[in-house]
Amino acid sequence: MIKEIIKCNDPDILAITPLRKCDKISKNTKKSIKRNKVKFEWISYSGDGNPYKNMDIAYKEYQKLKKIPDYIIKVDNDITASRHWLDSMYNVLKESGDDIAYAFTSFEFTGYVNVRFDNKHFDANKLVQNNYISSMSLIKTKHLEKVGGFVTDDRYFRLLDWCLWLKFLMFGYKGIYAPGNGFVAYSGKDTVSARSNDDYRIKRERVRTDFCEKIKI
């Protein structure tokens, strides 16, 4: 069952936080996400599936109750977002052309994994080589539906966000950078990003075979 965190009449954005049953949304996340002007509704869903399976379930459950807003975003449970983080993506995306499917920002991991992604523009060639775009990027709902929705298959687990951006690219859709400070995500020992390099290599090879090698740029 989905849980309502922030209710909103006629929202522009639907924010979804997929959770494992043992997880909770941090106080920093709740506080920082509220620091935006755009109208958004925020829900969560706890389940046994991978994050994108839980995201997809929440999306479909919400759709049974209400009309999906024009924009949708996955919000992890332990992040600190900069002020106007959602606003920056929303403002860029609503002015973009039909070839743009989503907006992304800079971000960084801290904790068990420490790395910053500070890319200022969309680069299709770079995306085919490696993912540099966060799963927490604002997506146009109509474009998500055009490509058949999220990628949820466990065979790509850990790289499901990369699969989604590549899937958009396969359909001819790109992303666009939104200026601002982005967000900081806390990485613990049990997070997906902290898993073994062997696991990463196996999943990456699957993504390259099933997605990257089929994309012509």
pLDDT at 190 over 80: no
Alpha helices in 13-155 (DSSP H): 27-33, 51-65, 85-94, 124-129, 141-146
Predicted structure pTM score: 0.94
Question: Mind listing the pLDDT tens digit for each residue in 7-61?
Answer: 999 999 999 999 999 999 999 999 999 999 999 999 999 999 999 999 999 999 9
Q: Which helix (H) or strand (E) holds 195?
A: none
- pLDDT value, residue 53: 98
CATH number of the CATH domain containing 70: 3.90.550.10
- pLDDT value, residue 31: 97
The residues near 55 (Cβ < 8 Å, ≥ 6 apart) are: 16, 18, 45, 74, 150, 152
Own/partner contacts of 34-38, CB < 8 Å, gap of 24 or more, are 34/6, 35/81, 35/83, 35/84, 35/85, 36/83, 36/84, 36/85, 36/86, 36/87, 37/84, 37/87, 38/12, 38/13, 38/86, 38/87, 38/90
pLDDT-based confidence at residue 114 (cuts at 50, 70, 90): confident
| Domain extent at residue 170 | 3-214
Half-sphere exposure at residue 81, Cβ-oriented, CA atoms within 13 angstroms: 26
Alpha helices in 9-84 (DSSP H): 27-33, 51-65
Which amino acid is located at 187 in the chain? S
Percent of the chain exceeding pLDDT 90 equals 86
- pLDDT value, residue 30: 97
pLDDT at 100 over 80: yes
Number of domains making up the chain: 1
pLDDT-based confidence at residue 191 (cuts at 50, 70, 90): low
Which amino acid is located at 182 in the chain? G
Mean pLDDT across the stretch 190-202? 72
Average pLDDT of every residue of the chain: 94
- pLDDT value, residue 181: 82
Question: Mind listing the pLDDT tens digit for each residue in 143-181?
Answer: 999 999 999 999 999 999 999 999 999 999 999 999 988
Whose structure tokens read 């997906």?
192
How far apart are the C-alpha atoms of 1 and 75, rounded to whole Å?
Answer: 17
In this structure, how many other beta carbons lie within 10 angstroms of the beta carbon of residue 107?
Answer: 25
- Using an 8 Å Cβ cutoff, are 47 and 54 in contact? yes
- pLDDT value, residue 192: 53
pLDDT-based confidence at residue 119 (cuts at 50, 70, 90): confident
pLDDT at 99 over 60: yes
- pLDDT value, residue 197: 83
How far apart are the C-alpha atoms of 129 and 135, rounded to whole Å?
Answer: 17
Q: Across-strand partners of 186? A: 110
Q: Name which residue leads in pLDDT, 193 or 75.
A: 75
Lookup: tokens for 69: 């807003």
pLDDT at 198 over 60: yes
Question: 13 burial class (0-12, 13-18, 19+ CB within 10 angstroms)?
Answer: buried
